Structure 1
Amino acid sequence: MTRIILSTLVLALGAILAVGGVWLASLGGTWGYIVLGALLLLSALLMYGRRKGGLVVYGIAILFALGWGLWEVGLYWWGLAPRGGLIIVLGLLLLLPPMVHSLHRGTQAFRGYGIEGMLMLASIGIAVVVAAVSMVTQPYDMPGRLEPARMSQAPLADPYVDDGEWASYGRTPYGQRYSPLAQITPENVAELEVAWEYHAGDVHVDLPGTALESTPLIVDDTMYLCTPKSEIIALDPVTGNERWRFSPTLTGLVPQLSTYATCRGLSYHDATDLGWEVSDAPLPDKREAARLIRASMDGVTVEAAGVAQNIVAGTAEAGHPNPVVSDDAPTEPSPIRADCLRRIFLPTRDARLIAVSAETGTICPGFGGDDGTVNLWIGMPNVSPTAYYSTSPPLVTDEVVIVGGSVNDNLSTELPSGAIRAFDIRTGRMTWTFDPGNPDGPSPLPEGQVFTQNVPNSWSVASYDPDLNLAYLPMGIGSPDQYGGFRTENDEKYGNSVLALNASTGAVEWVYQTVHHDIWDYDVPAQPSLVDLTIDGETVPALVQPTKQGEVFVLDRRTGEPVLPVTEVPVSQNAVPGERPAPTQPVSAISFAPDYVTGAQMWGLTPIDQMLCRIDFHQMTYEGRFTPPSVNGTLTHPGSFGVLNWGGVAVDPVRQMAFAMPVYLGFVSTLTPRPDNLETIVSREGAPLGNEMFGAPYAAVLKPFMSKLGLPCQQPPWGYVAGVDLTTGETIYQHVNGTVRDMSPVPLPFETGIPGIGGPIVTGGGLAFLSGQADYYVRGYDLATGETLWRARLPAGGQATPATYLGRDGRQYLVVIAGGHNYIGTKLGDAVIAYTLPE
């Protein structure tokens, strides 16, 4: 019976591989599975006939799989395992005594195992030795070290932020994510322990885009963070005790369209030294504050992609342009309440911008009116619920609050505008506007007019150079992402670019495009980092811009000219009718672009699912990184999550290097011809609307390239950490980063390198910290070498950028938010955890 069962398993495996191998070869793929399947079939037939020769043939199959794997992927365990793991396990079962003793025909030496059994055992032994060597070999790791002279330089203080504070998303307006604090060092980081843990109480399990991505602000002995439902929470940064919570009433959020619930952060402004007139008005109590917020929004009915929806949009009226300002917005600044000299600006999910006292957590009247609120639907076309709101903190100067916004990708060709607006820091009145669809139009927008619909938007975080008075905004593209046949000249100019605007007037200083005619959702996703670099003995005021496609552009922030070389390379023109792909794409001296994908890089747990991935790969269109989407499906690598996303890179201005978390996960982009109506053809029933692209000739299905078992079809590593010299563009080191513990059905601690989303920080103490991987850890790295020195387990995914600060007790703290992220599949949570060294 044992012989029959095991022989049948070998026969079935051989048959599947042989038949699938013929299919794969017919598509232009490898013939390896045909050979492997034939050897297994022959082995099974011999064992059915009780011949020990079946063991010899099986041993040959093991050696063939091993040699084939070494030829295709080299001495890399994660590449070899799918090719031989299952076969070796089955081979060990074939050597069990009941099985061997049932094979009568053959030599009887070695107590019945015969020479045949010994040969098979030898083949397994060879495979095990190779596997053992490959497990301690990491061909994708690139060790290196930043020279000691640069590492030993003293930390650099910032003139705009106290050393111990984290006052904006990137700590300073420069967006470097660098702190000069140096109490925690490579020598003592392993001693970090939990100082306190707080739970925000906001977990949205019902929304696919839920993500507690907030990077806390720590200013004047208070920590501020926002939640997916647009709350502000103020904590004691030393104890974690809640000081106050601001909870606006959100209205008009239609579940059918509410695909996101995200707040990446807040903005802080301190006007105590600006000479503003202070009133002696008493502070409102919390009930009055809540009433004012509710009163600021009135329900109306408008058209959303042709479908009537009951929503809330401030003073917007159906069929009429939105007003330029709310009716209550003051024309002149009035005296400000004393506790509102220090304010927090909160972008909400229902498209408002609220000014809140940083001291008391109550609204600050005078910004937009008595309700302290600016309605972000003002001037917007196509008002529709949750189709537009600001997911990232606005940029704040002493004059204005500059707001971009997130527009639903791929829903329709008639969506709100990506226009950028600036509101007076005191009154909330619109002071200037930049409309990418009408860049020479009036600014601010005159009353009774609306912005251009569907134009490129800036959904990520902006940076600011106070000396140049320039705001730098990363730009996306108008909807839809996957088809651009009808884009305008202005769309092509401002889409997927870094845009430098005069912060006082909104005038364009320069624009630099990072992708031409984007049809892959390669928005510029990350905050630009501003840093002064020493190149050829001269100081260059530079801007470092990470991108989804893996390029990191280093530009002169005065002019937008490249500081490090950029070349244009030809790309695939194989597009659907009506599309017009750009002939070339820019490649920077600093590039984390993925290698050209081949069938040999396909992966799985077994040779069967690996073979099926290879079949899927050869059935798709793939001609390199910028292959246009297609009707039969295109492998888009990197996918829309990008090599680098909104977490960006951390820039050390002293060592003049960047620390990054490049990740690699291919997507499949499939276009489906759609009728010219509002029929849904790619959305799942009961789920939010998908990439319907109403008004375009196609809808799109965009999903990760996964195997039948739900694992990536491309072999690991899927994630790294890397250090880059910004003065030369040289990659100093690159290390595989992250385990499959929280990605696999069994919590295995294997270091495969995994994808993730989130950002790193660096410190004057010579460390980098990161929690964005898809396993639930926060890690501390030696900035000089990239080696992991410390890690701590998190209760959920850590898809937020950490922060570090100095407590009033004189100790340096690291704070991490573990909120998870529905789209990358990490566990949702609401934990805020602070770490510090023992007293």
Structure 2
Amino acid sequence: MLRNVLLGATIIAGMTAAAIAQVPPADQPPGTGNATPPAEQPAPPADSFAPPSPNAPQSPGVNAANIPDGPPAEPSEATPMVEQVTANPAHDDWPGYGRDDRATRFSPLDQITPSNVGHLKRAFIYHTGSKPAPGQTNKWAAETTPIKVGDGLYMCSAMNDMMRIDPATGKEVWHFHANEKYDSIPYTAACKAVVYYTSSTVPEGEHCHHRILEATLDERLIEVDSEDGKVCEGFGWHGMVNLMKGMGESVPGFVAETAPPPIVNGAIITNQEILDGQRRWAPSGVIRGYDAETGRFLWAWDVNRPHEHGEPKEGEHYSRGTPNSWAAMIGDNALGLVYVPTGNSAADYYSAMRSPEENKVSSAVVAIDVKTGEPRWVFQTVHKDVWDYDIGSQPTLMDFTKPDGTTVPALIMPTKRGQTFVLDRRTGDPVLPVEERPAPSPGMVPGDTRAPTQPWSVGMPRLGFAPLKEADMWGMSP
């Protein structure tokens, strides 16, 4: 599910998935090589492919900061948000991961031109100080996209330290130490970006009116003041929220946050990457909302608990092995939606144990209502994905002008397959042509069916057949 994109170590904005299954084990689960175990080998115990008990404990160190959880929370709504700097960025600023609320990744700066670019000289070098200790495997990556707001350049290290530096000199203004442990590193130690947030409840001039937010490798949300880098005590537990709450049995490094969580209408939206190929019942790919002012839990979208938007009750957990979303998300404040690029379920290449619910939303764009956690629409880019075709890029929002002159609020979704889909972000309907084409299915594994078609995008020649109905595409038996 996760494939890391290595960005330059210099300060360059970069562009960089997935969520749901819990079904009984198959009668004859696959063994090595997707085949039934040979007769001379003992059959695995009946519960070998069953999910762990809801009461199975987390290993020590999973809740690395020992944040108290409190009782399970019911759904609630976010504190109303004021307009953020990403709505209308200042000319010289880059205040968000994709620069603005639409992730356009366009800078209007014009001092560097083709005629003078060859004369550029290095202004400064800044070292985050994050590196392996003696004896540790070097899994550190330079993936951060710094953000600039006014006279502050904010960034995070591979191990989630946050810092503010002077953009003119590279001098460090403050450095927040997240105190991540080496055991919390998944594939790679990486932090793609921090988030700038202006409070609607703390007055201008007071501590934590302007905040810097990050999600960490050890599953925390952390907010600090943008001026001094000290934690916002009114957020969560001493400035932190434990994102392992409700996740059930896990070990350090199995689940991690690397993407900057978007804030949409006052709701911080979190997603997480899950280690590939470890076990079928991996931690959940649940998507959750938290209040940007207080860290209070708002809602959860857990595909196998579709109508339960609160936190799991005592003795329960979010559904396991579900498609996770590891790419950067984006939201639309006017529509009240967050757009979630997803991947496929745990266990990439065998899908017979997946639920119909997860088949509906894997390798898709899912638009979720940030007030309730309910999906509004789903557009699937691969049906029954067993090839690890998960979506690894942040969507971009735009106003698309059609040939008749009308404008459609659109979403551009690139994929790792080279297909780019342009969708109406209100409904998920394609703006540019998308058609269903017959998909070959050689070498079928018994009981592990494939989708009869796959979507092809942007004006390919027609083959003369009608697209499948939604029920046909999504109603395949696992």
Residue 175 of structure 2 corresponds to 245
| Deviation per residue, 1:605-636 (Å, 9 max, x gap) | xxxxxxxxxxxxxxxxxxxxxxxxxxxxxxxx
User: Could you state the TM-score of these two structures normalised by the residue count of structure 1?
Assistant: 0.43
| Deviation per residue, 1:673-704 (Å, 9 max, x gap) | xxxxxxxxxxxxxxxxxxxxxxxxxxxxxxxx
- Please show how residues 396-795 of structure 1 align to structure 2 within 5 Å: 396-446=263-313, 449-536=316-403, 537-574=405-442, 575-589=444-458
Residue 256 of structure 2 corresponds to 389
Q: Which runs of 5+ in 2 are unaligned?
A: 1-84, 461-478
Residue 211 of structure 1 corresponds to 141
Residue 594 of structure 1 corresponds to none
* Deviation of 1:252 (Å): 7.5
> How far, CA to CA, are the matches of 1:215 and 1:372 in structure 2?
23
> How far, CA to CA, are the matches of 2:215 and 2:86 in structure 1?
27
Q: Is the 8 A contact 2:267 2:289 kept in 1?
A: yes
Aligned-partner residue type, residue 260 of structure 1: T
> How far, CA to CA, are the matches of 1:403 and 1:567 in structure 2?
32
Q: Is the 8 A contact 2:377 2:427 kept in 1?
A: yes
Residue 725 of structure 1 corresponds to none
> How far, CA to CA, are the matches of 1:268 and 1:590 in structure 2?
39
Q: SS in structure 2 opposite 1:178?
A: coil
1:192 to 113, 120, 142: 120
> How far, CA to CA, are the matches of 2:446 and 2:248 in structure 1?
29
> How far, CA to CA, are the matches of 1:517 and 1:359 in structure 2?
48
> How far, CA to CA, are the matches of 1:413 and 1:429 in structure 2?
31
* Deviation of 1:475 (Å): 0.8
> How far, CA to CA, are the matches of 2:132 and 2:379 in structure 1?
37
> How far, CA to CA, are the matches of 2:255 and 2:239 in structure 1?
20
2:219 to 324, 327, 351: 351
Q: SS in structure 2 opposite 1:195?
A: coil
2:160 corresponds to 1:230: yes
2:236 corresponds to 1:362: no
* Deviation of 1:247 (Å): 0.9
| Deviation per residue, 1:692-736 (Å, 9 max, x gap) | xxxxxxxxxxxxxxxxxxxxxxxxxxxxxxxxxxxxxxxxxxxxx
Aligned-partner residue type, residue 374 of structure 1: V
> How far, CA to CA, are the matches of 1:190 and 1:569 in structure 2?
48
Percent identical: 39
* Deviation of 1:208 (Å): 6.4
Q: Is the 8 A contact 1:528 1:545 kept in 2?
A: yes
| Deviation per residue, 1:633-669 (Å, 9 max, x gap) | xxxxxxxxxxxxxxxxxxxxxxxxxxxxxxxxxxxxx
Superposed structure 1 runs of 4+ greater than 6 Å apart = none
> How far, CA to CA, are the matches of 2:283 and 2:205 in structure 1?
35
Q: SS in structure 1 opposite 2:322?
A: coil
- Please show how residues 288-367 of structure 1 align to structure 2 within 5 Å: 338-367=206-235
Q: SS in structure 1 opposite 2:118?
A: helix
Q: SS in structure 1 opposite 2:411?
A: strand
Q: SS in structure 2 opposite 1:541?
A: strand
| Deviation per residue, 1:97-154 (Å, 9 max, x gap) | xxxxxxxxxxxxxxxxxxxxxxxxxxxxxxxxxxxxxxxxxxxxxxxxxxxxxxxxxx
Q: Is the 8 A contact 2:161 2:179 kept in 1?
A: no
User: Could you state the TM-score of these two structures normalised by the residue count of structure 2?
Assistant: 0.73
> How far, CA to CA, are the matches of 1:486 and 1:569 in structure 2?
25
Q: Is the 8 A contact 2:302 2:318 kept in 1?
A: yes
Q: Is the 8 A contact 1:416 1:454 kept in 2?
A: yes
Q: SS in structure 2 opposite 1:493?
A: helix
Q: Which runs of 5+ in 1 are unaligned?
A: 1-156, 279-335, 592-839
> How far, CA to CA, are the matches of 1:204 and 1:572 in structure 2?
46
* Deviation of 1:158 (Å): 7.6
> How far, CA to CA, are the matches of 2:228 and 2:459 in structure 1?
45
> How far, CA to CA, are the matches of 2:367 and 2:315 in structure 1?
28
- Please show how residues 163-202 of structure 1 align to structure 2 within 5 Å: 163-202=91-130
> How far, CA to CA, are the matches of 1:362 and 1:277 in structure 2?
15
Q: CA RMSD in A?
A: 2.2
> How far, CA to CA, are the matches of 1:187 and 1:432 in structure 2?
52
Q: Is the 8 A contact 2:186 2:275 kept in 1?
A: no
Change (3 A) 1:164 1:504: farther
> How far, CA to CA, are the matches of 2:451 and 2:152 in structure 1?
49
- Please show how residues 79-118 of structure 1 align to structure 2 within 5 Å: none
Aligned-partner residue type, residue 545 of structure 1: M
> How far, CA to CA, are the matches of 2:302 and 2:376 in structure 1?
15
Aligned-partner residue type, residue 229 of structure 1: M
Mark the structure with the bigger radius of gyration: 1
Aligned-partner residue type, residue 159 of structure 2: K
> How far, CA to CA, are the matches of 1:337 and 1:453 in structure 2?
44
* Deviation of 1:221 (Å): 1.0
> How far, CA to CA, are the matches of 2:409 and 2:139 in structure 1?
37
> How far, CA to CA, are the matches of 1:502 and 1:547 in structure 2?
23
> How far, CA to CA, are the matches of 2:187 and 2:115 in structure 1?
44
| Deviation per residue, 1:232-279 (Å, 9 max, x gap) | 12110011111111112224826xx843211111111012xx3x145x
Q: SS in structure 1 opposite 2:183?
A: coil
Q: SS in structure 2 opposite 1:210?
A: coil
Residue 267 of structure 1 corresponds to 195
Change (3 A) 1:355 1:484: same
> How far, CA to CA, are the matches of 1:522 and 1:347 in structure 2?
25
> How far, CA to CA, are the matches of 1:182 and 1:554 in structure 2?
29
Q: SS in structure 1 opposite 2:126?
A: strand
* Deviation of 1:572 (Å): 2.7
Change (3 A) 1:453 1:572: same
* Deviation of 1:187 (Å): 4.1
> How far, CA to CA, are the matches of 1:570 and 1:484 in structure 2?
19
Aligned-partner residue type, residue 94 of structure 2: W
Change (3 A) 1:204 1:373: same
Change (3 A) 1:219 1:522: same
> How far, CA to CA, are the matches of 2:311 and 2:222 in structure 1?
20
Change (3 A) 1:491 1:538: same
* Deviation of 1:160 (Å): 2.9
> How far, CA to CA, are the matches of 1:526 and 1:220 in structure 2?
27
> How far, CA to CA, are the matches of 1:396 and 1:511 in structure 2?
21
* Deviation of 1:589 (Å): 1.1
Q: Is the 8 A contact 1:475 1:524 kept in 2?
A: yes
| Deviation per residue, 1:322-360 (Å, 9 max, x gap) | xxxxxxxxxxxxxx9922111111222211111111111
> How far, CA to CA, are the matches of 1:266 and 1:544 in structure 2?
23
Q: SS in structure 2 opposite 1:161?
A: coil
Change (3 A) 1:158 1:461: closer
Select the structure that is richer in helix: 1
Change (3 A) 1:174 1:447: farther
> How far, CA to CA, are the matches of 2:120 and 2:276 in structure 1?
41
> How far, CA to CA, are the matches of 1:441 and 1:196 in structure 2?
51
